[in-house]
């Protein structure tokens, strides 16, 4: 599982060809997918379809962390 740690107000945009599952670990996270934004908290999971850019933003005041796992064949996770 790729761990993504973000400082407050830091964002991380990327996409990958495979479907992936983003898992909230800690902090105040917002994920934007296809123009829609979702707030993530309390160890929620969010599934992102393949070839879909997604932006993970730390909207809190402390470091935030999410995990990203590939679903399906490829585990490649490129920024
Ligand atoms: Zn991802």
CA–CA separation, 36 and 49 (whole Å): 14
Distance 15 CA to ligand 1 centre (A): 6
CATH architecture of 2-71: Sandwich (2.60)
Residues with Cβ–ion distance below 5 A, ligand 1: 20, 68
pLDDT digits (tens, 9 = 90+) for 58-76: 999 999 999 988 876 554 5
Whether the predicted model's global pTM rises above the 0.85 cut: no
pLDDT digits (tens, 9 = 90+) for 2-59: 899 999 999 999 888 888 899 999 999 999 998 899 999 899 999 999 889 999 999 9
Distance 10 CA to ligand 1 centre (A): 15
Distance 61 CA to ligand 1 centre (A): 22
* Beta-carbon contacts of residue 2 (< 8 Å; ≥ 6 apart): 67, 68, 69, 77
Residue recorded with tokens 């902090």: 27
Distance 63 CA to ligand 1 centre (A): 18
Closest CA to 71 of 56, 54, 39, 49: 49
């Amino acid at each position: 599982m790729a761990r993504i740690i973000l400082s407050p107000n830091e964002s991380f945009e990327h996409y990958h060809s495979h479907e992936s599952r983003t898992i909230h670990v800690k902090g105040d996270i917002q994920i934007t997918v296809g123009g829609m934004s979702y707030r993530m908290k309390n160890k929620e999971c969010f599934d992102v379809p393949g070839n879909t850019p997604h932006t993970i933003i730390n909207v809190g005041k402390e470091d935030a962390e999410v995990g990203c796992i590939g679903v399906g064949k490829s585990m490649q996770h490129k920024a």
